[in-house]
Amino acid sequence: MNTHSSDLQKAGSSMKVMGVLTIIFGILALAAPWIAGQSVMWLIGVLVMAGGLTRMFWAFKAGSLGKGILVFLIGVLTLLAGIAVISHPVMSSAILTMILAIYFFVDGFTEIMAAFSLPGDQGGKGWLIFDGVITIALGVMLFVGFPIAGTLAIGVFLGIKLLFVGMTMLTVGSAAKA
H, E, C per residue of 67-95: HHHHHHHHHHHHHHHHHHHHHCHHHHHHH
Assigned domain for 178 exists? no
In a domain, 143, yes or no: yes
Amino acid at 129: I
pLDDT given for residue 177 in this prediction? 64
Task: Answer whether residue 160 is part of any domain.
Answer: yes
User: For residues 85 and 44, is the Cβ–Cβ distance under 8 A?
Assistant: yes
pLDDT value at residue 82? 93
| Domain-located, residue 127 | yes
DSSP type of residue 148: T
> Can you give the pLDDT of all 178 residues of the chain as single tens digits?
556 666 656 777 888 899 999 999 999 999 998 889 888 889 999 999 999 999 999 988 877 888 889 989 999 999 999 999 999 887 888 887 888 889 999 999 998 998 888 777 666 788 889 989 999 998 898 888 765 667 788 888 889 889 999 998 888 888 776 5
Number of domains composing the chain: 1
pLDDT the model gives residue 67: 83
- Judge whether 114 lies within some domain: yes
SS3 120: coil
Residues in the chain: 178
What pLDDT, on the 0 to 100 scale, is given for residue 148?
Answer: 60
Does residue 7 fall inside a structural domain?
no
Specify if 102 maps to a domain: yes
Q: Could you list the residue range(s) of the whole structural domain that residue 65 is in?
A: 14-173
> What single-letter amino acid sits at 163?
L
Residue 103 within a domain: yes
Q: What is the Cα–Cα distance from 161 to 163, expressed in whole angstroms?
A: 5
Check residue 89 and give its pLDDT.
82
For residues 48 and 81, the answer to whether their CB atoms sit within 8 Å is yes
Q: Which of 112, 113, 132, 118 is nearest to 172 (CA)?
A: 118
pTM, rounded to two decimals: 0.61
Q: Are 45 and 82 in contact (CB under 8 A)?
A: yes
pLDDT at 7: 65
